[in-house]
Amino acid sequence: MIIHGGKPLKGDVWIGGAKNSTVALIPASILSRTPVTLDSVPRIQDVDNLMDLLAEMNVTSEFVETTLKVDPSNIEMHPLPAGKIKSLRASYYFMGALLGRFGRAVVGFPGGDDIGPRPIDQHIKGFQMLGAKVRNENDEIVITAPEEGLHGANIYLEMVSVGATINIILAAVTASGRTVIENAAREPEIIDLSTFLNNMGARIRGAGTDTIRIDGVPVLQARNAHTIIPDRIEAGTYISLAACVGEGIRVCNIIEEHLDSFLAKVEEMGVGMEVNEDSIYVYPAGDLQMIQIKTMPYPGFATDLQQPITPLLLSAKQGEGVIIDTIYPKRVRHIPELQRMGADLHVEDDIILIHPSSHLKGAKVSADEIRAGAALMITGLMAEGETVIENADNILRGYDRVELKLRQLGADVEIVDA
């Protein structure tokens, strides 16, 4: 991604469907015995990668505009190769989906962004509580249900985990009896997934709370198209961008309550906003105040937004900003890249300390993961001169049609296939 910065941006930007819903809904679609239609699907590389994995199982899919059609009618049980699995972490949702559909899953160890340890022990514990046996064979996870099938169980998660909550739901929806997940994650994307499954005949109650109850059903069948919720992380990224370099930007297609903790921090900094039912208008920023941010499980401040908000803290006039990521404390690989651009910030004991940085300059940097790429992209738009972001495919993995949207706002940006 090549950016010529220092240009004020204005206009409207439309937020796409939630990436973190989409990457769970696509694996969940194989639980249906009938074709599935998903609307408001973001145009991101993770969707293309998941479609490739569907093809490995003889599942056809077609992606036109923002509609993805998946037909699992002729699905075949195949081990999913480690190479493609390692292209994105959310591919591990095929573990729960295959286990729920076939009673067996063979999946390579998941990959994705390198943001520190993200163990899957709680996923495995959940499968085992449902009666499955789990073993490691040649760098693959082999999960097998008993002959009589999976059975409901009471499962307590030692720590709040979005991934484990989703995987257990996918495996439990067709298990016999009742499954109760305690200390479950409460993210909006879990509600979105549960709505999708319930509309296919599942019986899930309590999504969005810390206790989810699932009464297993024998068969799921899609009936109507499912519209994916707006992406709260994309929305937060553009709100940060608008406050950094905007001359009046309206962020459209949002759900305000999904952004409450983020908006509270942006307002604390002094950013002027007009919040409407499904959009937020961000006024040009004046003098901004430094703040402290601590990421927490939803409804707290999202870990995925600590990097996109960092350029906004760099815009403050005085003081010291602090970011503490309690979810992924090692999520700091963007810091040395921002330093190359003249940003005054550093890390002490996994705490990010930020100082005002008024002389940002373009540089050659690397986007080592999705949200780090977003931070570099916003900083590049703020900086004088040319910024070249290598490994920009990581940005494309998580941000819907980002080049088009930035150009529509007036940015001088180009993505080049190296």
Nearest to 333 by CA among 376, 269, 295, 288: 376
Bridge partners (DSSP) of residue 390 are: 366
Q: What is the CA radius of gyration of the chain?
A: 21
- In angstroms, the CA 21 to CA 86 distance is 19
- In angstroms, the CA 254 to CA 247 distance is 20
The residue annotated as part of the active site, out of 39, 46, 48, 113, is 113
The answer to whether 113 is a known catalytic residue is yes
Distances (CA, A) of 247 to 129, 272, 289, 356, 401: 54, 12, 19, 21, 22
Q: How many H helices and E strands in the chain?
A: 14, 23
3-state secondary structure at position 45: helix
- The DSSP secondary structure of 141-200, one letter per residue, reads EEEE--TT--B--EEE-SS--HHHHHHHHHHHTTSBSEEEEES----HHHHHHHHHHHTT
The DSSP bridge pattern shows strands 386-390 and 2-4 to be antiparallel
Structure token digits, residue 335: 């810091």
Nearest to 188 by CA among 14, 11, 17: 17
- In angstroms, the CA 171 to CA 183 distance is 18
Count Cβ atoms within 10 A of the Cβ of residue 362 and give its class: 0-12 exposed, 13-18 middle, 19 or more buried: buried
Asked if residue 297 lies in contact with residue 165, where contact means CB atoms within 8 angstroms, the answer is no
Catalytically active residues, by annotation? 113
